[in-house]
Amino acid sequence: MIIIGNGVSILPNVLITDTEHEYIPNKSLRHTGLNVGGVEIGDYSVIGMGARILGHRHIKIGRNVVIGANAVVTSDISDNAVAVGILAKIIKYSK
């Protein structure tokens, strides 16, 4: 399940997913199962252009968070953080 809070800005070319295919050697994707998790994005956060949020496990992005352009998020981001990079890391906290 994907939950998007109030006032969240999502810029173009963003991917938010809560599933991934299981990897089983020597099997095609159509013969594997899906892992389903969840994504929760807190109020007034900004998801930068081209960012990828991969929530095959449950991921929580806090309130007032900024995710930088092209960042890849695979784990929780706390409130008021600015996170960038592949894999996304918190570089500072806003006031």
Give the residues across from 47 on adjacent strands. Answer: 10, 67
Q: For position 34, what pLDDT does the model report?
A: 83
Print the SS3 string covering 20-45: EECCCCCCCHHHCCEEECEEEECCCC
Structure pTM?
0.88
Q: For position 95, what pLDDT does the model report?
A: 75
Report the distance separating Cα 26 and Cα 36, nearest Å.
22
Give the residue extent of every domain in the chain.
2-93
Instruction: Tell me which fold the domain 2-93 belongs to.
Output: UDP N-Acetylglucosamine Acyltransferase; domain 1 (2.160.10)
Q: pLDDT per position in the chain (95 positions), as tens? A: 999 999 999 999 999 999 888 888 898 888 888 888 999 999 999 999 999 999 888 999 999 999 999 999 999 999 999 999 999 999 999 87
Identify the sign of the CA torsion 2, 20, 14, 67.
positive
Of residues 50, 51, 24, 22, the one with CA closest to residue 39: 51
SS3 state at 4:
strand
